[in-house]
Every structure is written in C-alpha cells, then in structure tokens.
Structure 1
Amino acid sequence: MSSDTAARLVESMRELLWERGYTGTSPKAVLQRAGAGQGSMYHHFSGKADLAQSAVAATAAELRATADAQLSGHGPAVDRLTAYLRREREVLRGCPIGGLTQDAELMADPALRAPVTETLAWLRSRLAAVLAEAVASGELAPSLDPEATAAALVATLQGGYVLARAEGSPEPFEQAVAGVLGLLSAFATGSSAG
C-alpha cells in the first residue's frame, strides 16, 4: 500500500463529507471513490472516524490557507476583507467546514468536531484582526467592534450558504454578502493612515 492510496482515500473522504456528510458516507463509498481495495482503508487508518479526522483536518487546513492568503495580501484592510467575502465559492455545495456542523454524528465525536470548531474560531479571529487593522489605519470608525463584526461576517457567510442551498441559487448568498458589506460601509471613514 502506498502513501498515494492514503492520499486518495483522504481526498475521497473529503469530497464525500462535503457531498453527503459523515453519517451519509460509508467506508465502501470511500473505497469506490478512491479506487482502492477493500483492506486499504484499514491498512492506513484505524477506521472511518480516523480517515474522516484526516479528511476534515485537510479541508480545514486548505480553508485556512486560502482565507489567510486573501486576508494577508497587500492593500487596505477593507479591500482585502471585501475580496475575501466576494471570492469565488461553490455556494450551492455549501461550506465544506460549516456544513459539517449539521451532521449530528460528526459533532458528537470530540475528535471530529475539534477541527470544525477550531477552524470557525480561527476564521472569526482572523477576520477580527483584519477589522482591527482597518480601525487602526483609520479605514473604519473606532466605534466598530472587530470581534462582534467578525462573528457577524462568519454568520452571514454560513447563513448565506444555507439560504442559497434552500433556494437552489447563489443569489441569496450574494445578497447576504452585499448586505453585510453595505452595513460595514456605514463605518467607513473615507480616510486611511496607511
């Protein structure tokens, strides 16, 4: 068994978790998607939960890297934040991390829940840091609460996914992002110390 097989198993589990959730994903489906033999999962992982933990951790790491790259770029903090909120997403598939919170079996397992909880907390913290930077540079008014606003931004994104999936259209997600950016613009000062 090669590490290539393990990587295919992790990637297949990642895809299936996003499509079906943990409860709806069987080991057989993972093996079929990966094109792997019946014993290969147990050669590399102790079982479905162990494989899922690796898959969720990989998805969480990818989400963090993508978000951090956008939020850490050059230019005014509000521009970076806007670019992050408006970036291309597979809206109708939902959030690959946030969507897992709807899976009762996954959330009941502390080891599987941990990367989900940690990633959402990291995102709130990272957004709060960018908002604090915007306040410090004079882009946003000092009355803006970075932590509360970051929580509202994450809630808007997650809720936007739910609304879009319910309607079968990305439009509600786009409206939610436009709405929260409109609310944020009320704190714009029109100046920047940067």
Structure 2
Amino acid sequence: METKARLVAAAREPLWERGYAATSPRAVLDATGAGQGSMYHHFRGKEDLARAAVDLNTDEMRAQVDTDLGGPGPALDRLHRYLRRERDVLRGCRFGGLAQDPEAMASPVLAPRVEEMFRWPVGRLAPVVREAQAACELRPGLDADRLAVAIAAGVQGGYVLARATRDPTVFDSAVDGIVALLDTARTEP
C-alpha cells in the first residue's frame, strides 16, 4: 500500500474512536512507520489528512447505503435492509463523533463534509419512502421527508444510546422501534 493510502487508513481509526481534536498526526505516523516528511509531502497538515479520511469514509458509507436502499426488492424491504444492516454499534457512527467534536465542526474543511453526511442519508431515504407509498406499501398521507428524518435520527440515536450504555442491544431496540413504526404505517392489504 502506498504511503498516502496508509496514512489515510491509519487516520480513520483515531478519527472514529477519539474524534478530530484527539487525533494526533504523530500517532498516525507511528502507526504507519512513515516519516513526518512523507505526511507533509502528501498532505498540507492534520486537517488535510482528516479530510482525506472523511472523504474515504463518505465514499464507503454512500456505497453501503446505496446497496441497502438501491438493491432489489420492494421499497419497504430495502428500508428494513438499511435498518437491519450489521453495524459495529459500540464504535458509533464514523461521522457522529466528528459532529460532537467542536474542533472538527469549527473547521471550514471538515464541518461541511460532516454536515453533508447527516443530510445525505435523509435525502437518500425520502425517495425510497415515496417509492413505498407509490407501491401502496406505506400510507400515502405520510410526510416522506419527515419520516426519512425520523429514520435517520433513530439510527443515530441508537448509536448514541448503545455507546452510552455500552449495550449493543439498545441499538437493536431502536431499530426495532423504527421498524414497528414503519409497520404501523403499512397500507391495509
């Protein structure tokens, strides 16, 4: 693996686990065995390295969500697939910790990326909700945009509750609650 890719890969873990403020470029360099000159050859500094790691996380998350929501099957099944996907819930969302990190959210480079990764899933979920409504899987009177926000908030809240209680079953309960709400919104057969 080339040095630049190794540096980005090594930065992803501390950004996820500790956030931007607590991510040390020295620790990233030590984890890769790269010299400081290598880092500054590829990146302008810590913020630029973090941007590359966040961009890689963004690409992976978008691909996963697109697979969940854009795959085959009825729209409601795809919403369930998105909700029930295997996640490492005790580690939390790769973007959730950054959203809580004042230094990351003060960054003109990182903040817009983090904001977008909280807006994007809502924008991706809403059309699938509308598709479920058009296919008579969900009641047509529901506000698809608000339901998409509720689904995304339920997933994010599930991460927070699971981490705070150190209990992954809390995330499962949050997802079960969202699924139950979707089931109550089903159209009558």
Q: Counterpart of 2:91 in structure 1: which amino acid?
A: R
Answer yes or no: is the 8 Å Cα contact 1:60–1:116 preserved in 2.
Answer: no
Listed as ranges, the gaps of 5+ residues in structure 2 are none
Partner of 2:89: 91
**Superposed displacement of residue 190, structure 1:** 4.5
- d(CA) in 2 for partners of 1:73, 1:190: 25
Selected match of 1:169 from 150, 167, 170: 167
| SS of residue paired to 2:12 | helix
The question of whether the paired residues in 2 share the 8 Å contact of 1:53 and 1:112 is answered with: yes
Segments of structure 1 that go 5 or more residues without pairing to the other structure are none
Query: What is the alpha-carbon distance in structure 2 between the residues aligned to residue 119 and residue 61 of structure 1?
Result: 10
Q: Give, in whole Å, the separation in 2 of the partners of 1:99 and 1:61.
A: 18
Contact map agreement 1:156 1:177 (CA 8 A) in 2: yes
Task: Give the TM-score normalised by structure 2.
Answer: 0.97
Alignment counterpart, residue 71 of structure 2, candidates 70, 73, 95: 73
Secondary structure class of the residue paired with 1:143: coil
Structure 1 stretch displaced more, 159-168 or 109-118: 109-118
Runs of 4+ with >3 A deviation? none
Partner deviation per Cα, 1:13-71 (whole Å, 9 max, x = no partner) = 11110011100011101111222122111010000001101111110111011001110
Q: Which amino acid aligns with 1:139?
A: E
Letter in 1 for 2:86: E
Residue 169 of structure 2 aligns to which amino acid in structure 1?
A: E
User: Could you state the TM-score of these two structures normalised by the residue count of structure 1?
Assistant: 0.94
1:146-184 CA distance string (max 9 Å, x none): 100110111111111110011111011100000011011
Which residue of the partner structure matches residue 21 of structure 1? 19
2:131 is matched with 133
Which position in structure 2 is the counterpart of 1:108? 106
RMSD: 1.1
Amino acid at match of 1:103: D
Residue 115 (structure 2) aligns with: 117
Identity %: 56
CA distance in 2, matches of 1:176, 1:155: 10
CA distance in 2, matches of 1:16, 1:86: 26
Q: Which amino acid aligns with 1:91?
A: V
